[in-house]
A and B are shown apart, each in its own frame.
Chain A
């Protein structure tokens, strides 16, 4: 039996080859009657261009192999050809549901490599914006995974609130999605005056909206039937499979980078790490819903004690001079010219910086070679790692459950393929 599901680049596979492709230590059952099913890459519920090769016994999943790379963009390679500042725009387009988190991870890695730290005001604004991004990302996750489970209205509500967050981003950064707002040494510019009012308004209406979404799903028998007890993974397995974020905490492992290795001043804020012990789709759903509430708490605290002061460090070798200085100072012109043509030089050495992105631990390995371009950038993409557990999670379940599980591990293909 062979399977052909696309053009020239999609190779035909036999059952044996599929089993080799899985290759993740799952035992193979002998069966003549098994059927091969190719889900994707154009499939409504795979959250992007993911292709799944599924071996079925009747409707039960026996084997599953993710076929990825349909969105492989060469971001890591492309960043090596750009200066540290210019490479930033690439990170936005990686996990396109949380550009702020990607920016933050990369910028923190650059700052660590340079040995500088952003000003307190810049750090607080970064925290506010990344937490808003977390809410926005979880809203897309909630909307699309509920849509997969046939709950259409949740999607419409979620996108309505997400638009508000994007409006705030547009207010501060000038772009709805691809913000590139965090820069080495601080921020691109200060937030506008209306920022605080806008965020306070968001904090006012959001808790009621989250309660609304929960009301739509919490007592919905279809949703509960498809989420409870589906895709269970134990705490031990979750650690061994490297799951992070909501997928790990849904299994009861208390690991959140914001608590374990605080960055950007997260240690100042008081928040809980939501934990569930069941490890199923429903537990992961509960964890993420609670995370949204905790994010609101963090935003409120950060906003209440938002310090005044500069938004950038005053190291002119890293941060470009303000526009007004260019007319007065020759030195400023030189710095401006140097920074925008050649960029700053980073020392030789390598660093690893982890942050908690909405999907889990987002890590950046960055090596400098003394020049103005990164010698190697590598991203520890949480979606990529979480996807690896999919064959294990969906073993012996129905095809329809696979859809629910993909939704619950919250993957973004842009980040998986990079």
Chain B
């Protein structure tokens, strides 16, 4: 049995309801995990002797607009002893009601979740350090969401130079 099938059968044995869907694309296996089960599945994946996913590589959120549920959070797991990668994907309907934090399982989890919160606005239950990280404290909105504008400024050319110049802030000596 290849490692991809091992993990699915192991999880199904321990948590019969947890896996919503299994997909494969370009040789990468993605397990869609029910949001409520995520933390226990992660704990299981790390501690089970036959799995040992001891390395949390990345957490990344994805805005699937206009699909529903709109948000998805990816957990890239890697097992150093078994040299195997797996991706857990959690669908999130309401970003304020996100999955539980995995900071107690892998220490890096808290830090990675902070990035997701700052840029995508998915709140992780139980993570008390969620705050503005990259953006100034008073920033409104979450830039990586699809409904957030890129914030493009018009480019000055010679034909519209004066028009834009008049609107631009200009610094002075004091």
Give the B-binding residues of A (Cβ under 8 A): 9, 11, 20-25, 68-69, 72, 74, 76-78, 81, 112-113, 115, 237, 239-242, 253, 255, 260-261, 349-352, 354, 361, 363, 365, 367, 376, 378, 380, 384-385, 388, 392, 417-418
B112 surroundings in chain A (CB, below 8 A): 242, 385
Q: Which residue of B lies closest to A388 (CB)?
A: B111
B80 surroundings in chain A (CB, below 8 A): 239, 253, 255
A72 surroundings in chain B (CB, below 8 A): 134-135
CB distance from A20 to the nearest CB of B (A): 8
User: Given A25-B103, A239-B80, are A376 and B62 neighbors across the interface (CB < 8 Å)?
Assistant: yes
Contact of A380 among B25, B58, B63, B119 (CB under 8 A): B58
Pair A261/B85 contact, Cβ less than 8 Å: yes
User: Given A260-B83, A351-B25, are A242 and B103 neighbors across the interface (CB < 8 Å)?
Assistant: no
Report Cα–Cα, A77/B106, bound state, in Å. 27
Report Cα–Cα, A69/B136, bound state, in Å. 8
Q: Which residue of A lies closest to B145 (CB)?
A: A77
A78 surroundings in chain B (CB, below 8 A): 150
Pair B76/A380 contact, Cβ less than 8 Å: yes
Pair A242/B28 contact, Cβ less than 8 Å: no
Pair A81/B135 contact, Cβ less than 8 Å: no
Pair A352/B62 contact, Cβ less than 8 Å: no
Pair A376/B28 contact, Cβ less than 8 Å: no
With A112-B26, A378-B62, A392-B107 given, can you name 9 additional A-B contacts, CB distance below 8 Å? A9-B136, A20-B129, A77-B144, A253-B80, A255-B80, A352-B58, A363-B58, A378-B58, A418-B134
In the assembled complex, 18 residue pairs joining A and B whose CB atoms fall closer than 8 Å, in A order, are A20-B129, A22-B129, A23-B129, A68-B133, A74-B150, A74-B151, A115-B26, A239-B55, A242-B55, A242-B57, A242-B107, A260-B83, A261-B83, A350-B30, A352-B76, A352-B87, A367-B62, A376-B62
Report Cα–Cα, A112/B57, bound state, in Å. 19
Residue interface mask B110-151, A partner, CB < 8 A = 1: 111001000100000000110111111110000110001011
B143 surroundings in chain A (CB, below 8 A): 74, 77
A237 surroundings in chain B (CB, below 8 A): 107
Pair A376/B63 contact, Cβ less than 8 Å: yes
Query: Count the A-B residue pairs with Cβ separation under 8 angstroms: how many?
Result: 111
B115 surroundings in chain A (CB, below 8 A): 384
Contact of B57 among A76, A240, A354 (CB under 8 A): A354
Contact of B128 among A11, A23, A113 (CB under 8 A): A23
Report Cα–Cα, A257/B26, bound state, in Å. 18
Contact of B134 among A22, A255, A417 (CB under 8 A): A417
Pair A378/B133 contact, Cβ less than 8 Å: no
CB distance from B74 to the nearest CB of A (A): 7
Report Cα–Cα, A225/B124, bound state, in Å. 42
Interface residues of B in 90-114 (CB under 8 A from A): 103, 106-108, 110-112
Report Cα–Cα, A352/B134, bound state, in Å. 23
B19 surroundings in chain A (CB, below 8 A): none
- Any A CB within 8 A of the CB of B56: yes
A11 surroundings in chain B (CB, below 8 A): 137
Pair B108/A76 contact, Cβ less than 8 Å: no
- Any A CB within 8 A of the CB of B43: no
A361 surroundings in chain B (CB, below 8 A): 57
Q: Which residue of A lies closest to B46 (CB)?
A: A240
User: Given A78-B150, A260-B83, A363-B58, are A350 and B110 neighbors across the interface (CB < 8 Å)?
Assistant: no
Pair B134/A68 contact, Cβ less than 8 Å: yes
Pair A242/B83 contact, Cβ less than 8 Å: no
User: Given A260-B83, A365-B74, are A350 and B137 neighbors across the interface (CB < 8 Å)?
Assistant: no
For the complex of A and B, the 3 pairs showing the least CB-CB separation, nearest first, are A23-B129, A242-B108, A69-B134
User: Given A242-B57, A376-B62, A417-B134, are A385 and B108 neighbors across the interface (CB < 8 Å)?
Assistant: yes
Pair B106/A242 contact, Cβ less than 8 Å: yes
Pair A77/B150 contact, Cβ less than 8 Å: yes
- Any A CB within 8 A of the CB of B40: no
Report Cα–Cα, A85/B111, bound state, in Å. 31
A385 surroundings in chain B (CB, below 8 A): 108, 111-112
Pair A349/B26 contact, Cβ less than 8 Å: yes
- Any A CB within 8 A of the CB of B41: no
Report Cα–Cα, A237/B148, bound state, in Å. 38
Q: Which residue of B lies closest to A348 (CB)?
A: B25
Pair B131/A21 contact, Cβ less than 8 Å: yes
Pair A388/B62 contact, Cβ less than 8 Å: no
CB distance from A345 to the nearest CB of B (A): 16
Pair A388/B108 contact, Cβ less than 8 Å: yes
A349 surroundings in chain B (CB, below 8 A): 25-26
